Amino acid sequence: MNAESILEISGLTTVFRIGDREIVAVRDLSLAVATGETVALVGESGSGKSVTSLSIMGLLPRGVGRIAAGTLRLKRKTGEVVELQTIGGDTLRRVRGNDIGIVFQEPLTSLNPVFTIGEQIAEPIRIHMGKSRQEALSDAIQRLEDVGIPDPHRRARQYPHELSGGMRQRATIAMALACNPTLLIADEPTTALDVTIQAQILDLLGRLQKERGMGMLFVTHNLGVVAEIADRVAVMYAGSLVETGSVARVFSHPRHPYTKGLMRSVPQLGTATLLREAGTPLPTIAGSVPSLMDLPSGCPFAPRCPYRIEVCSEAYPALADAGEGQFSRCIRWQEI
């Protein structure tokens, strides 16, 4: 494992059983997150982003989802390296919440409605750090203050439904970071929030990451958020990693037709008005995402791709080295 890496994923393949079939939700995914680095996992709904997060956390639905291949190596706070796909039981419970924290998309569904905010943040502190109930509650109040919640003593005694959406999300961040994990997984943490609160949450995550030096895997479909918070980006499509590299490189020189289509589809200030006046439709990616139950042969993006040739429908392409740390799963990346 690389000395700078906190998380290394190699060849991850995750499948789900539906009836008598196994459907591949994530296929041959490889990426790494280093200390103090933010890696954004980008793609449309159903591309495999959240399944990747659940695979890392060991939260795949039992009897339905499983890791069929690959390794997920995590460097714990102690320096010990564990393979997440092989551990379970007590060992996995010691890792979750302690070495890996996760922030989910909708805080109202990830917080327990019958326990106060303070009790929920104090629980991992008691379990993983061995503190007394009173000590843990005191630490929980400090965590609420750390994430910018005013009057944290009062908020700690309140229940999730008594807080606003932005405060609930701050509380889930406080819970995820309660034990100072080395890795934070943020699974679309700003999607349910308005733009002003979204900006505050992004600033908060960036500040806390710098203060604590943790790595962050940021799952999103919003390219604007990626540009603001991430160092590197990994673009997923239909369960496959199709392009990866530094944010600056991928945004300025996309080497996969799907990434290029995503970039063209981002509205620019004033562009929509000009296009409407000219009678020109906004740029879109033709077609729709294929069902994982009926993926096309060869490249999964081929049916929607303006660059496709016959061989694209015959063989699944490998990740090609496009230089300067950028990789593209396209045989025509040089032309793109």
Residue ranges of domains in the chain: 5-230, 254-328
Average pLDDT over residues 189-215: 86
Q: What percent of the chain has pLDDT over 90?
A: 69
Q: What is the pLDDT of residue 105?
A: 81
Average pLDDT over residues 16-43: 94
Output the pTM of the full model: 0.92
Average pLDDT over residues 309-329: 94
* Bridge partner list, 5: 34
Which two three-digit tokens encode residue 67? 């890791």
Dist CA 18 CA 20 (whole Å)? 6
If one compares 185 and 191, the residue with the highest pLDDT of the two is 185
CATH of range 5-230; options 3.40.50.1480, 3.40.140.10, 1.20.1110.10, 3.40.50.300: 3.40.50.300
Which two three-digit tokens encode residue 153? 């003593």
Q: Are 190 and 202 in contact (CB under 8 A)?
A: yes
If one compares 192 and 241, the residue with the highest pLDDT of the two is 241
Q: Tell me the torsion sign for CA atoms 201, 211, 236, 54.
A: negative
Q: What is the pLDDT of residue 323?
A: 94
**pLDDT exceeds cutoff 70 at 277:** no
Q: What is the pLDDT of residue 157?
A: 96
pLDDT tens column, 227-237: 989 999 999 99
Which two three-digit tokens encode residue 190? 């700003």
Q: What is the pLDDT of residue 165?
A: 87
pLDDT tens column, 84-130: 999 888 889 999 999 999 998 888 888 999 999 999 999 999 999 99
